[in-house]
Amino acid sequence: NPALDVCSASKSDRANRSCIGVIAMPDKSNPGAYFEIPVTDMHRATTFYKHVFGFDFEMVDIHDNQMALMPFEAGGTGISGALAKGDIYKPSVCGTLIYLRTENIEQALERAQQAGAKVLFPKTNVNDYALVAEIEDCEGNRIGLMQHL
C-alpha cells in the first residue's frame, strides 16, 4: 500500500507523492478525513449552524459524547464532520481552523452576525481562487468560511 510507505523512497518516487510526517500519501488523496467542532450547548450550536449554513444534523452518541453529524454525500467532494459535545471538547478561537464551504459568503456572514457571531477576519479574495472570512461562532470557536470563485 503506497499510502503506508515511509518517506525514504527514491527522489523520483517522492516527487510523485506528498509526505505528511513520515507517511507518504498518494497524490490522489487529500489528507483531511473528518472534523469535530467543540460545543458546550448542542441546541444553541445546531440552531446557529442551521441558520448560517442550512445544515440538517443527525444526532448520535459516540463514546459517551453527543454528536450532531453534518451532511455527508457519499461520492461527493470535500470532507464532513460534526458538532461535538463531551468532556474532551473545549471551544476555542486558538485551535485548529476549519473552513466551511458556502455558495455566498456575504449572505453567510450576514446570517452569522444575525445569529450572534463576531467577524474575526473580513471577506478577503485569495488569488482569485476563493473568498474567505473567519467568524467566532456561538460557542467561541474560530470558523472559516470559503466561497470558491
* Longest Cα separation, the chain: 54
| Beta-bridge partners for 142 | 136
Average pLDDT, the chain: 86
Residue-wise pLDDT tens digits, 36-76: 999 999 999 999 999 999 999 999 999 999 999 999 998 88
Residue-wise pLDDT tens digits, 118-139: 999 999 999 999 999 999 999 9
Q: Please name the helix (run of DSSP H) or strand (run of DSSP E) that holds residue 14, with its range, or none.
A: helix 11-14
Q: For residue 96, is pLDDT > 70?
A: yes
Instruction: Give the predicted TM-score (pTM) of the model.
Output: 0.79
* pLDDT category of residue 4 using cuts at 50, 70 and 90: very low
| Beta-bridge partners for 18 | 25
